[in-house]
Structure 1
Amino acid sequence: MDTWERLKIGTAVTGTALAFLVIHWITDLVFPETYAVKPGYKVADVSELQVDLASLQRSWPAGLSGQGGRANVRDFMSNIEKVSVPRSAETPPAVAAPEPQVDLATLLARADAAKGRQTAQVCTSCHSFDQGQDRIGPSLWGVVGRNVAADKAFTYSSAFAAQTGSWTYQRLDHYLTNPAKAVPGNKMGFAGLRRAEDRANVIAFLRTLSPSPVPLPKVVETSPQSRRSPPGSSG
């Protein structure tokens, strides 16, 4: 068989395939498929489950076995792109409300200094809790309330040397959350304490490292009157 014969056979096969595709396309236009809403006839003494379109579409293919007769399911799946599936009336899952933020004064009032001492043991790799005993980092004795970079016997990094003000409760809480972010460029390799309760316990322990601890911030309590609706408001 020469090349010309092969070309004629290939052309004939290709032409036939194209003709079938065109005929199929024209047939779909003239006789569009329709979804069978209900069976054309009912078999006596046989009851079929109704197809829950929304459920089937969500659980496809796992929900196929429990969805009515095979013909109904087949018709639905063959026309799924043409069917307007009703939305389910199911209640959306409840989203848990975020826990209310507790202010630092309340956390410190509830803090456990003994637990804070245990948590603060990680600090002993670089710091001492004893007065006047510096290590890689300055002593933490009396740190609550003293000025930042106030230890004259210790050489601070340039990042800390540039800091002003004192170690207030709020400042300690902010620093212990993320030291690298609170004082960019400092040399301490501690990642920080993510839980607010842990930070409060540690600060409560650090507060005890002083002959005269700094008073705790006052907890502002909300009175019942302040929670009432203002005069003239509805409800």
Structure 2
Amino acid sequence: MDGWERLKFGAAITGVVFLISVLRWTADLVYPETYVTEPAYKIPGVSEPAVDLSALQRSWPAGLSEPGGRAKLRDYMSNIEKVAVPRSAEGPPAVAAPAPQVDLATLLAAADVEKGRQTARVCTSCHTFDQGGQDRIGPSLWGVVGRDVAARETFTYSSVFAAQSGSWTYERLDRYLTNPAKAVPGNKMAFAGLRKAEDRANVIAFLSTLSASPVPFPKAEKPKIAETLQRPRQGSRRPPPGSSG
């Protein structure tokens, strides 16, 4: 094929693409696309459930295998700017209150040592758990609960750890295991942390067993009585003892 033939072939392809683009643009003008928010035909007694776009996105790609899931997600994403957010006559839906935080002592009292042992297996690449165990990339964790930070004489700590004071209390271990990089900035421990409080409690409960004299768990916090129940409301006076109403 010489240069002239290639030029004609390229011009033909360009012309076809241009023609298709013009036809699609003209069709959009003549027949504008409308997004159907409700089924065209409603079966009596059957209500079409509303499509939860965020749920479809969260379940990606598993949700696409459900009947109509792929088509619904594709249609919603391609027409997302045309979707009207439904408004309830009763106002916005109520936001669920956040779950109350459970204190560490309560979590430790209910902790599963065996689950903590299994979770802590990831630590064995850098630490040992046995009494008299050797230091590895990290120090031995035998007796870590209650031990002073950077107290292992056989291990060379980083400068940021050597500058730490105090001991490994249960609360301190919980903060450290949540996010080691944030608890001790600049330390060399390549561990992202445990995000679930229950997982941390299980691991800490397991670490507490690595001692000849385990440190007792802290006591659970007592629920605080509301201040309004401790003192009378403003403007009201309690009758003196012995008075009649």
Interval containing the TM-score (normalised by the shorter chain): 0.5 to 0.7
Q: Could you tell me which amino acid in structure 1 is paired with residue 220 of structure 2?
A: V
2-side partners of 1:166 and 1:88: how far apart? 55
Q: 1:8-157 residue pairs with structure 2 within 5 A?
A: 61-63=36-38, 89-132=89-132, 133-157=134-158
1-side partners of 2:174 and 2:152: how far apart? 20
String of CA shifts for 1:101-120, please: whole Å, max 9, x gaps: 11111111111111100100
Which residue does the alignment assign to 2:208? 207
CA drift of 1:206 comes to 0.1
Flag structure 2 segments of 5+ consecutive residues without an equivalent: 1-34, 42-86, 235-245
SS at match of 1:150: coil
2-side partners of 1:200 and 1:158: how far apart? 28
Identity %: 73
CA drift of 1:219 comes to 1.1
Q: Could you tell me which amino acid in structure 2 is paired with residue 204 of structure 1?
A: A
Residue 105 of structure 2 contacts residue 219 of structure 2 at CA under 8 Å; is this kept in 1?
A: yes
CA drift of 1:231 comes to 4.0
Which residue does the alignment assign to 2:44? none
Q: 1:147-226 residue pairs with structure 2 within 5 A?
A: 147-222=148-223, 226=225
Give the TM-score taking structure 2 as reference length.
Answer: 0.58
Q: Which moved more, 1:93-102 or 1:150-159?
A: 93-102
String of CA shifts for 1:32-83, please: whole Å, max 9, x gaps: xxxxxxxxxxxxxxxxxxxxxxxxxxxx7525969xxxxxxxxxxxxxxxxx
**TM-aligned CA distance change 1:213 to 1:88, over 3 Å:** closer
String of CA shifts for 1:80-107, please: whole Å, max 9, x gaps: xxxxxxx852342221211101111111
2-side partners of 1:183 and 1:205: how far apart? 22
Which residue does the alignment assign to 1:16? none
**TM-aligned CA distance change 1:62 to 1:150, over 3 Å:** same
Residue 127 of structure 2 contacts residue 140 of structure 2 at CA under 8 Å; is this kept in 1?
A: yes
Aligned residues: 154
Instruction: Report which of the two structures shows the higher radius of gyration computed on alpha carbons.
Output: 1
CA drift of 1:199 comes to 0.4
SS at match of 1:170: helix
Q: Could you tell me which amino acid in structure 2 is paired with residue 122 of structure 1?
A: V
Give the TM-score taking structure 1 as reference length.
Answer: 0.60
2-side partners of 1:130 and 1:177: how far apart? 24
CA drift of 1:145 comes to 0.2
SS at match of 2:92: coil
**TM-aligned CA distance change 1:149 to 1:91, over 3 Å:** same
SS at match of 1:151: coil
Flag structure 1 segments of 5+ consecutive residues without an equivalent: 1-59, 67-86
Displaced runs of 4+ in structure 1, greater than 6 A? none
Q: Does 1:233 align with 2:227?
A: no
Q: State the superposition RMSD in angstroms.
A: 2.3
2-side partners of 1:231 and 1:137: how far apart? 54
Which residue does the alignment assign to 2:237? none
CA drift of 1:197 comes to 0.5
SS at match of 1:233: coil
